[in-house]
Amino acid sequence: MPTRSKIRKIIRAQRRNLSDKERRIAAGHVSKRIRRLRVYRNCKNIAVYLPNDGELDLTPLIQHAWIMKKKCYLPVLDTLITDQLRFAPYNQNTYLRANCYGIPEPDVSTRHLVRAYSLDLVLVPLVAFDIDGNRLGMGGGFYDRTLSYLRNRRYWHKPHIYGIAYDFQKVGTLLRQPWDMPMNGIVTDKQVYLTRKISSTT
């Protein structure tokens, strides 16, 4: 099995080499698959992301969520706890600014930011995944630390966590690290992979 750094290098190159047409088609397929999920239909507060480094674009889904009167949020780097994320409201009129990694974030007051437990569904980008729900990200660990409190929950698991990827980002097996947060499922342009048996995802 290649190392994590090798997997990142290979798959990130594959993503960046996709044509604009391939990206648009994949984004449309993913939007349709997410919209069929009960967890999406029932959610009111949903964390999305803006694509970076070739990540799959959630714009079609975001537009649908706005039409359905769902509240969308984007991750922002927490200025108080610098290794975690909080989430800022995002709509058609939100002003964005680049963070220290060059990723656009809503330029809003900290009083408008919410913690992950206030959300119903978090859609996370990833570099690679396996069918057991293990996720390989860019290496910063922000989502893992932000959602780590879920490890101590026996009955109440909020938010649900779904990875978003192209199907070619699936790998055989990813060795789970102690700090890794497994996902409830992964949605790709080809398929939905459910990894934890939760009634709201059927």
150-171 core/surface letters (b: 16 or more CB in 10 A; e: else): beeeeeeeebbbbbbbbeebbb
Give the pLDDT of residue 141.
86
Which residues of the chain form beta strands (DSSP E)?
A: 45-47, 71-77, 85-90, 96-98, 104-106, 121-125, 128-129, 135-136, 160-164, 185-187, 192-194
Per-residue pLDDT in tens (0 to 9) along the chain, 202 residues = 678 889 999 999 999 999 999 999 999 999 999 999 999 999 999 999 999 999 999 999 999 999 999 999 999 998 776 688 999 999 999 999 998 888 899 999 989 999 999 999 999 999 999 998 899 998 888 999 999 888 776 665 789 999 999 999 999 888 887 778 889 999 999 999 998 544 333 3
CA dist., res. 43 & res. 127, Å (int)? 25
Read off the pTM.
0.91
- What pLDDT was estimated at residue 199? 35
| CA atoms of 52 and 194, how far apart (whole Å) | 25
Q: Where are the domains positioned within the chain?
A: 4-201
Q: Which CATH number fits domain 4-201: 3.30.310.220, 3.40.50.1220, 3.40.50.1980, 3.40.50.10420?
A: 3.40.50.10420
CA distance linking residue 92 with residue 146, whole number of Å? 26
Residue type, 202: T
